[in-house]
Amino acid sequence: MASLTRDLLLRTRKRAGGIALDVFFRGISQAGRAASRVRPEEWGIRVHGNLPYLGTGREAHRLDVWSAHEPGANAPVLFYVHGGGFRILSKDTHWNFALSFARLGYVVVTINYTLSGERPFPAAVEDVVAAWSWALDNVARFGGDPSCIVAAGESAGGNLVTALTLMATMERPEPYAKEVFTRGVVPVATMPACPILQVSDPGRFDALAPETTAFARDRIWEVCRSYLNDPEARPRQDAAMADPICILESAAPTVRPMPPFFSLCGTRDVCVHDARRLAKALEARGVPCEHPEYTGELHAFHALPLLRNARIAWREQQAFLSGALGTRMPKPLRRVTKRTGRRRG
């Protein structure tokens, strides 16, 4: 009886913590959007919102396109997958990433996907694949070049864009992986920020980061168990794409060259251990990977532009993209005055 009571209390604590985190991040995002003095239209950016990439009518299957370009502009595209432990948040909570990249001159595609509380793996991966295919077929209408796409995301989104890149460069047995490979388009660069890359083994952090708080441990276990729909979060042969780092560390060959990677992380983020593994695995494969670590910063710190390290991270991210895109690097937008429509510096 005492054992059952302890288990119930533990599950209740974990669920309450997850709900509190969801409410906190949504509140921060809404408050930031309300307080922000930056408006997309001031930069000539049009937001084409809630476009369906699948015909289900579900909110999970909608995306936004942020663009200041006309059809035929052939601007580089940035395909963004939000984080949230596979189970919370959305494209709308990540408006600041979309706006920031759009202001840098990209046509930005930012997506929703099925969260693990509704359907576990591989639903999120399948949705990312469907949104990717939609982007390849449709970004030209918004001034984007479907042959020049950067794949980016943070946390769970970092996992998903890493998996997407593997599917574009390796022949895999999964039907959704075959769909990506058949399209033949490889991201020109991949940017998985603070990624969690091995969902089947949350216990590895116990030894790697013994200083992790009980709250953080709860979130890690909750993320992994929910995504795999498995109370033990064990490795499964049919869920290999939930652990993209393990595929990279294996002898599985690539058929197409992998793009350069940029994987930023804070030193106080438990996911820094996965980011380090990613850099090491890519180095072993001869794939360029920049992995800057920012002293004292927590998970997804770069979402907070008031932080000095966040601003540094964005500058270093831009420098990486400049090297990866070369002459295709877009020019940052200039503000458009509402009164005259003229541009000013």
Residue 47 CB contacts under 8 Å (≥ 6 apart), including other chains: 40, 64, 65, 66
Q: What is the DSSP code string of 36-82?
A: ----GGGGT-EEEEEEESSTT--GGGEEEEEE---TT--EEEEEEE-
Given a cut of 80, whether residue 29 has pLDDT beyond it is no
In a domain, 12, yes or no: no
User: Does 8 reside within a domain?
Assistant: no
The answer, yes or no, to whether residue 6 has pLDDT greater than 60, is: no
The CA distance from 179 to 172, in Å, is 10
**Residue ranges making up the domain that contains 177:** 42-328
Let me know if residue 157 belongs to a domain. Answer: yes
The tally of domains found in the chain comes to 1
Query: Which pLDDT score, from 0 to 100, does residue 264 have?
Result: 98
Classified as helix, coil or strand, 190 is strand
Q: Is residue 137 part of a domain?
A: yes
197 in a structural domain: yes
What is the per-residue pLDDT across 194-211, written as a single tens digit (0 to 9) for each? 999 999 999 998 888 788
pLDDT digits (tens, 9 = 90+) for 299-318: 999 999 999 999 999 999 99
pLDDT in tens, 239-251: 999 999 999 999 9
Q: Which CATH number does the domain housing residue 86 bear?
A: 3.40.50.1820
21 pLDDT exceeds 70? no
Average pLDDT over residues 78-98: 97
Q: What is the mean pLDDT of residues 160-179?
A: 98
Alpha-carbon distance of 324 to 308, in angstroms, equals: 25
Q: Which residue has the higher pLDDT, 203 or 140?
A: 140
Taking the C-alpha atoms of residue 132 and residue 50, their distance in angstroms, rounded to an integer, is: 15
Report the interhelical angle of 95-103 vs 2-35 (nearest 10°): 40
pLDDT grade for 11, boundaries at 50, 70 and 90:
low
- Please tell me the distance from the alpha carbon of residue 149 to that of residue 159, in angstroms, as a whole number: 17
User: Are 84 and 156 in contact, with CB atoms under 8 Å apart?
Assistant: yes
Examine residue 118 and state whether it is found in any structural domain, yes or no: yes
Distance between CA atoms of 189 and 87, rounded to whole angstroms? 26
pLDDT the model gives residue 206: 86
> Tens digits of per-residue pLDDT, 33-74?
444 557 899 999 999 999 999 999 999 999 999 999 999 999
- The mean pLDDT value of the chain amounts to 89
Within a domain: residue 211?
yes
Closest by CA to 83, choosing from 136, 27, 155, 141, is 155
Residue 37: the pLDDT is 58
Average pLDDT of 5-22?
47
Q: Taking residues 9-13, what's their average pLDDT?
A: 48
**Residue 82 reports pLDDT greater than 90:** yes
H helical segments located in 89-194: 95-103, 123-138, 156-169, 175-183
Backbone angles phi, psi at 237, to 5 degrees: -65, -30
What is the rounded CA–CA span in Å between residue 77 and residue 144? Answer: 6
Q: Reply yes or no on whether the pLDDT at 164 is more than 50.
A: yes
| β strands within the chain, DSSP E | 46-52, 62-67, 75-81, 107-111, 144-154, 189-193, 261-262, 265-266, 289-290, 293-294, 335-336, 343-344
| pLDDT of amino acid 120 | 97
* 168-173: average pLDDT: 97
**What pTM was computed for the model?**
0.90
- Has residue 243 been placed in a domain? yes
**pLDDT at 16 exceeding the cut of 60:** no
Q: Is the pLDDT of residue 234 over 90?
A: no
7 vs 92: which has the higher pLDDT: 92
Q: How confident is the model over 270-279, as a mean pLDDT?
A: 97
Closest CA to 265 of 110, 163, 155: 155
Is 170's pLDDT higher than 80?
yes
Instruction: Give phi and psi for 81, each to the nearest 5.
Output: -115, 120
Q: What is the percentage of the chain residues whose pLDDT exceeds 90?
A: 79
Higher model confidence: residue 116 or residue 12?
116
